[in-house]
């Protein structure tokens, strides 16, 4: 009854009617009419002359949101459709006062509930100076499109990430000829269940984090969170924007398991059927643009994670080996790391461990 994306819908408005098996559309119309009639306000009671209240001693309001302070996560993706946004009364009032849409805030309280610290973090991000919109060219025809909720969240997240997270970047080339041959041989044996280069990359990232655990961390104010397993977020492009489904505990899954799981997650991400717990969290992210012919790029960190790995295209390039010019298939990878959590040496050790696994791919199958 109310189109998708409609803003400003009043509380209590009938937005949809569900028909059970055997019911007709006329039943829905009857139900809608009954609901509308029930919503009409009744006659107002007769006015009563107010009686002055006796003075009351001031009271100290009870502290709201007793949850312990913790650094707020930045929204990982668009909130799931349907359902009421969970937020404490104080958080709702603060969001309203600060003009912060609750759907753009990721809750850090129990069961994803939005609490005071989440609004404080969102307000801090909103306080970042924004340049005024560029003037509209008067001689160029254009149309304006209202941003989707997901696109608004992506814009806010990226702005906060670049404004509040001190990025640094490390780049190296990985020789992948042995990996390509192993993948070809494995796919010939598997038949229909093909594995992709990205599946090997996911496993290599997880194994490298196991070898360099100081890179599997998260900055959290006055503490550092050290994770005991590698949950790898993988950027997937959808019609509404990027979403990052997670391969959990990727270091303890085979390449074939990762491939099956990744295909399912990517398919459901593009159809909008992922559950929140399938794209929220993760300890590191991967963004692969190699299939689009991109040779090298630097990705923006996905807070509160501390690193993201940007994967370029594998291509044949000349190299010098033992004084002679030869060719090899090289893939350029760049890590963007949060310098508050990961030092340059740690980032370099992780990147070299990742390279070692890809250049000796049989070690990933052990």
34's tokens: 């009954």
pLDDT tens per residue across span 311-321: 999 999 999 99
Higher-confidence position of 284 and 106: 284
User: Closest Cα to residue 36, out of 51, 22, 15, 50?
Assistant: 15
CB 161 within 8 A of CB 300: yes
Q: Which residue of the set 111, 167, 322, 339 is catalytic?
A: 339
pLDDT tens per residue across span 269-306: 999 899 989 998 999 999 999 999 999 999 999 999 99
User: What do you get for the CA distance between the two ends of the chain, in Å?
Assistant: 56
Higher-confidence position of 171 and 141: 171
358's tokens: 């890809």
pLDDT tens per residue across span 128-157: 556 667 777 778 888 888 888 888 888 888
Active site residue 339: yes
CB 248 within 8 A of CB 234: no
Length of the chain in residues, anyone? 366
At residue 74, the pLDDT reads 42
pLDDT tens per residue across span 48-57: 444 444 444 4
For residue 42, pLDDT over 60 is answered with: no
User: Closest Cα to residue 286, out of 305, 302, 309, 304?
Assistant: 309
Q: What contacts 212, CB < 8 A, 6 or more positions away?
A: 346, 349, 350, 353
Report the C-alpha gap between 107 and 180 in whole angstroms.
42
CB 297 within 8 A of CB 309: no
Q: How far is CA 119 from CA 25, 68, 180, 280, in A?
A: 43, 15, 47, 18
Higher-confidence position of 70 and 252: 252
3-state secondary structure the chain: CCCCCCCCCCCCCCCCCCCCCCCCHHHHHHHHHHHHHHHCCCCCCCCCCCCCCCCCCCCCCCCCCCCCCCCCCCCCCCCCCCCCCCECHHHHHHHHHCCCCHHHCCCCCHHHCECHHHHHHHHHHHCCCCCCCCCCCCCCCCCCCCCCHHHHHHHHHHHHHHHHCCEEEEEEEEECHHHHHHHHHHHHHHCCCCCCHHHHHHHHHHHHHHHCHHHCEEEECCEEEECCCCCEEECEEECCEEECCEECCHHHCCHHHHHHHHHHHHHHHHCCCCCHHHCCCCCEEEEECHHHCCCCCCCCCCCCCCEEEEEEEEEEEEEEECCEEEEEEEEEEEEEEECCCCCHHHHHHHHHHHHHHHHCHHHHHC
For residue 77, pLDDT over 50 is answered with: no
pLDDT tens per residue across span 1-36: 888 878 888 888 889 888 888 887 677 777 667 766
At residue 134, the pLDDT reads 73
């Amino acid at each position: 009854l109310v189109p998708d994306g409609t803003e400003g819908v009043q509380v209590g408005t009938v937005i949809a009617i569900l028909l059970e098996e055997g019911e007709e559309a006329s039943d829905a119309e009857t139900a809608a009419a009954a609901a509308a009639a029930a919503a009409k306000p009744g006659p107002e009671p007769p006015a009563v002359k107010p009686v002055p209240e006796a003075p009351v001693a001031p009271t100290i309001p009870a502290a709201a949101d007793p949850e312990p302070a913790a650094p707020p996560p930045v929204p990982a993706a668009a909130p799931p459709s349907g359902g009421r946004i969970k937020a404490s009364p104080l958080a709702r009032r603060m969001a309203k006062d600060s003009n912060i849409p609750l759907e753009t805030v990721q809750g850090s309280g129990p069961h994803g509930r939005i609490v005071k610290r989440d609004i404080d973090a969102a307000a801090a991000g909103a306080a970042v100076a924004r340049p005024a919109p560029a003037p509209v060219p008067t001689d160029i025809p254009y149309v304006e499109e209202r941003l989707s909720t997901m696109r608004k969240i992506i814009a806010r997240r990226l702005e906060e990430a670049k404004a509040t997270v001190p990025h640094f970047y490390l780049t190296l080339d990985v020789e992948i000829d042995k990996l390509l041959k192993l993948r070809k041989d494995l796919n010939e044996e598997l038949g229909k269940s093909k594995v992709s280069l990205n599946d090997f990359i996911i496993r290599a990232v997880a194994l490298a984090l196991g070898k360099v655990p100081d890179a599997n961390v998260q900055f959290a104010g006055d503490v550092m969170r050290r994770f005991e397993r590698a949950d790898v977020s993988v950027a997937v492009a959808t019609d509404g924007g990027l979403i990052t489904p997670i391969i959990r505990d990727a270091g303890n899954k085979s390449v074939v398991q990762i491939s099956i799981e990744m295909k399912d997650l990517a398919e459901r991400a593009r159809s909008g059927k992922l559950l929140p717990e399938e794209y929220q969290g993760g300890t590191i992210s991967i963004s692969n643009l190699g299939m689009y012919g991109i040779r090298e790029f630097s990705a923006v960190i996905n807070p509160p994670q501390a690193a993201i790995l940007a994967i370029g295209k594998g291509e044949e390039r000349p190299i010098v080996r033992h004084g002679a010019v030869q060719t090899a298939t090289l893939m350029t990878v760049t890590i963007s790391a949060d310098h508050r959590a990961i030092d340059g040496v740690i980032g370099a050790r992780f990147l070299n461990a990742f390279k070692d696994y890809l250049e000796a791919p049989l070690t990933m199958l052990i």
